[in-house]
Structures are given as structure tokens and as C-alpha cells.
Amino acid sequence: MDGKHTWRLFLTLPVVLLSRNDVAQSLHISKVEVPSPVAVGESGWLQCQFVDEGESIYALKWYLGLDEFYRWTPAENPPVKTFPVRGDPLTVDTAASHRGRVRIHHVTLGAAGVFRCEVSAEAPAFHTESAVATMTVVDLPDDRPQISGAQEPYAMHEEINLNCSSPHSQPPASLTFYVNGEQADPAWLVHYRPLEDPATGLETSVLGLRFPLRPRLLHGGFVNVKCTAAIDQLYWSSSETFIPGDLPYHASIMEGRAALGRGCPASSYSLLTLLLSGLSLWLFLH
């Protein structure tokens, strides 16, 4: 190669390299977002924002796992197309969707996983960029938490044995017991593994509460027990029950006398005591 052709190649080569570098940087994805967590049956938006800097876009595609379910091709008519996904984990609202902003409805547990947005440039570059985001899907409990095992009445120092369950959810709900408005002593709790329904795969969470009935726990003759169930920031519910205590006879009399004494002067209290004694004597003689 003579010097003239070598000089021409030296001038041309940097220009070609710079052009390829510009193409690589002219298209990039700036943000990918999916709703998470989202409850079964709810709706949400998928967001894929990109910067093209004047480069023509051939297509934008959304994938769930390996399955493409949405494509926006601006040069075609109609520009939006959707494709079925195994198990029908979601429905795309084509009327509301445009470019990389996609409205989805009727989300199921099958929609949980990795979503990928892919953007491709037109020829001759055919440059492609992609980014991912993960969606968590929650199946909420069928009903409020249920407290079981209560009986009535309980004798002093008898063990109270209760269970709280939150039925059929995914993931299982987190349960918490409260006694008279305060979180239960951890030593009173009995933890169980969630119970799975083989037919649906949903789980029922169960938590036990065991403690002896003490006089100090009785408020107006009852112990208030509450159970709460929660899943992420999507769900919170509670149930409560009142456990009756059977106070010994002398404790009931003393409790009644103390209540009367707080509301009556000393002379009235003495008169009341005299009348009660007289009535007892009359009943004994007759």
C-alpha cells in the first residue's frame, strides 16, 4: 500500500469508530418500574422509559420471564400488539397502553417474577437495550383472622389455650397476639408451620397462645385477647374475644365491697354491712 492510500485510511478510521460509539450511546433505557407488591386481581402500570436522542425506534417489547406479551412497533398499524402467556397471568389493556407504558389487569400469582423491557433501534444499527424489574404478587386471606379454643368460664390459674389462624393466602399472613391491649409475652406464644392447601397452594398461618389466668389479667371479669394478621403493606385485619374468669367467691365479695367503699361514706358502708349480717341471720333462723 502506497503512502497516499495509507494516509486516506488513517483519516477515515477514526470517523468510523466514532460513529459506532455514538450509535451505542444514542439509545438507552433510563427507568424500568413494575407495581410490587400487588394483590391478586388488581391492576397496575408497567413503565419503561428510554432515551433515543433522535435515533429511530424499531420496537419496544415486554417479557415476563422468557415470554413476550407486549410489543410496540411505531412503524406498523396498529402499533400495539399483545401475545398470550402460559397460564394467563395478566391481561394487557391495549387501549390504555402506549410506547413503554403498559396497563395490566387481573393479575394472578403467575405474574410474579422478572419483567424485562427491550428496546431496539432501526437499521442499520439494530442496537438493542434491555432492563429488568421484579414483581411480587400477593394472594390476600379469604377472611379475617379467627380465634378458636376459648371456653367459659375459666377458673383462676387455669391455662388459657387459644389458636389464631388466617386462612388461605400467599405468602402466609404474619400473626400477632395482644392481651388487654399489649403485645403478648413471647413466652406465651406457640409457633406452628403454615398449613398448605394442596389444591390451591395457598397457606393458612397459625399461632398459639398459652398462659395461666391470673387475677391481675381480669378487667371487669374478662381478659381481652386480640389477634392481628398482616401481609406487607397490602393487608391488615384483626379479631378479638373476651375471656371470662370465674373469680373465687371471697374475691368477688371483696371486689364488690371495694367498689362500694369507693363510692360510699364509711357510715353507709357500716350500715350496709350490718344489714347484710342481719339478713344472713334471718335466713339462717328461717
Are the CB atoms for 235 and 138 separated by under 8 Å? yes
What's the pLDDT tens digit per position in 28-53? 899 999 999 999 999 999 999 999 87
Q: Determine the pLDDT at residue 29.
A: 94
Q: Which is more confident, 61 or 1?
A: 61
pLDDT in the model for residue 125? 73
pLDDT tier for residue 27 given thresholds of 50, 70 and 90: confident
Question: What are the cell numbers at 38?
Answer: 400487588
What is the reported pLDDT for 54? 65
pLDDT at 25: 54
- Model pLDDT, residue 63: 98
Domains identified in the chain and CATH numbers = 26-138 (2.60.40.10), 146-246 (2.60.40.10)
Cell triple for 18 = 466514532
Q: Would you tell me how many other CB atoms lie within 10 Å of the CB of residue 259?
A: 10
Question: Is residue 187 exposed (0-12), middle (13-18) or buried (19+ Cβ within 10 Å)?
Answer: exposed
pLDDT classification of 151: cutoffs 50, 70, 90: confident
Residues comprising the chain, all counted: 286
**pLDDT at residue 93 greater than cutoff 50:** yes
Residues 243-265: pLDDT tens digits?
998 866 444 444 444 433 444 44
Mean pLDDT taken over the chain: 83
Which range has highest mean pLDDT (51-65, 117-131, 167-181, 251-265)?
Answer: 167-181
Peptide linkage before 89 cis (omega within 30 of 0): no
Q: What's the pLDDT score for residue 16?
A: 33
In the chain, which residue ranges form alpha helices assigned H by DSSP? 3-26, 249-263, 266-285
Parallel/antiparallel/unpaired status of strands 101-105 and 91-98: antiparallel
Report the predicted TM-score, pTM, of the whole model to 2 decimal places. 0.70
Return the sign of the alpha-carbon dihedral for residues 276, 153, 247, 252: negative
